[in-house]
Amino acid sequence: MSRPSQAKPTTAEPPGVSVIQNQAAAQAAAPAPQQVPQLVPAHPDAAGGKALPPGKMKKPPADKDSEEYRQRRERNNLAVKKSRMRSKQKAMDTQQRVNELKEENERLEAKIKLLSKELSVLKDLFLEHAHNLADNVAPAAGGAEGASPAPTGPAPGGQ
């Protein structure tokens, strides 16, 4: 799970409240409040003059103590959480979709099987009838003409 010391309500915390402050508060009773070691990376622009539209370089490295910095961080943390939740939800939805589609496919296959069977039966009937006609109408073959029902057809219709 996550950090035990961090009380993380499912609902988003009110804007303007820092998580770090929450944690600090959580152990406020404990002595020796620690201070954040702050390392500020060198300003990127130190190297060469950027060829950008006049007037503005990149960004100042964002002071960590800045109120605005904390605010941005917190907003981003929120956004990240949201994004991740969505991502997970989407994954689950996709999985579910797979299941649904699988089911649907089985349904369709069953239907195909049924239709095929029906078709096969009808075709057999046709053939049988055709044979009967042939036997009755064109009795060219010498022999009994009235007795040749041809009981079972050859079962046409593959698939």
State the residues that interact with its own copies by CB under 8 A: 3-6, 9, 11, 13-14, 16-20, 22-24, 26-27, 30-42, 64, 91, 94-95, 97-98, 101-102, 104-105, 108-109, 111-112, 115-116, 118-119, 122-123, 125-126, 129-130, 133, 136-137, 144-145, 148, 150, 153, 157-159
Tell me if 132 contacts DNA by CB under 7 A: no
Nearest CA among 100, 105, 153 for reference residue 131: 153
* Sole residue written with tokens 């956004």: 79
From the list DNA, its own copies, none, which binds 14 (C-beta under 5 to 8 Å, kind-based)? its own copies
d(CA 114, CA 126): 19
Q: Which stretch binds DNA (CB under 7 A): 86-94, 95-103, 108-116, 134-142?
A: 86-94
Mark 9-30 as b/e (b = at least 16 C-beta within 10 Å). eeeeeeeeebbeeeeeeeeeee
Pick between residue 54 and residue 154 the one whose CB is nearest to its own copies: 154
Partner from DNA, its own copies, none binding residue 124, C-beta < 5-8 Å depending on class: none
> What distances in angstroms separate CA 85 from CA 33, 81, 90, 97, 98, one per listed residue?
33, 6, 8, 18, 20
